[in-house]
């Protein structure tokens, strides 16, 4: 017989996974993780293990982000339909807020940083519909986020000429 004081957890994380999750959440890498574990007198995981667990955690975060963005898109579409924001052919349209950034290195170097970010937020729900990172190759890092939007929005030409 087993008596538990808490309900069983359906998604148990190993100590290493939890440590990497916390490290990434606070913006530290393996070196800082080693320092923290040293202060606590706890053996730190190897760089290889840390990197492997980081990959696992990032996949979980990406799945959650994709699910959240898809749900936000569906919610934006529902709100648009409720408010009557429809094209003449009854295609719902939404208003979005777009922002992005590409930092400059200003401390004596003549080049830009190697990456930038972009986000599209639904104006009604204030929830992210797209999040992407761009590298110097100007390619979107997570193209699958756009695929999520494509499944939610009928991409018909909404204008006859540029503004």
Q: Which residues have CB under 8 Å from 127's CB, separation 6+?
A: 68, 69, 72, 75, 76, 121
On whether the CB atoms of residues 123 and 73 are closer than 8 A, the answer is no
The pLDDT tens digits for 113-160 are: 667 788 999 999 999 999 887 765 444 444 555 555 555 554 444 445
Contacts 24+ apart (CB under 8 A), 2-8: none
The pLDDT tens digits for 88-106 are: 999 999 999 998 887 776 6
The pLDDT tens digits for 13-66 are: 788 998 999 999 898 999 999 999 999 999 999 999 999 999 999 998 889 989
The CA distance from 120 to 99, in Å, is: 7
Q: Which residues have CB under 8 Å from 34's CB, separation 6+?
A: 44
Q: Which residues have CB under 8 Å from 125's CB, separation 6+?
A: 72, 75, 76, 79
């Amino acid at each position: 017989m087993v008596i538990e004081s808490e309900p069983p957890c359906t998604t148990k994380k190993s100590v290493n996974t939890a440590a990497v999750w916390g490290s990434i959440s606070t913006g530290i890498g393996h070196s800082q993780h080693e320092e923290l574990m040293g202060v606590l007198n706890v053996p730190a995981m190897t760089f290889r293990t840390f990197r492997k667990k980081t990959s696992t955690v990032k996949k979980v975060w990406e799945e959650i982000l994709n699910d959240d963005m898809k749900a936000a898109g569906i919610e934006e579409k529902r709100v648009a339909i409720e408010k009557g924001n429809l094209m003449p052919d009854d295609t719902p349209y939404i208003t979005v807020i777009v922002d992005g950034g590409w930092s400059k290195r200003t401390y004596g170097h003549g080049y830009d940083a190697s990456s930038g970010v972009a986000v599209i937020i639904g104006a009604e729900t204030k929830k992210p519909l797209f999040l992407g990172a761009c590298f110097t190759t100007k390619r979107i890092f997570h193209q699958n986020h756009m695929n999520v939007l494509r499944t939610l929005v009928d991409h018909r030409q909404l204008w006859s000429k540029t503004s």
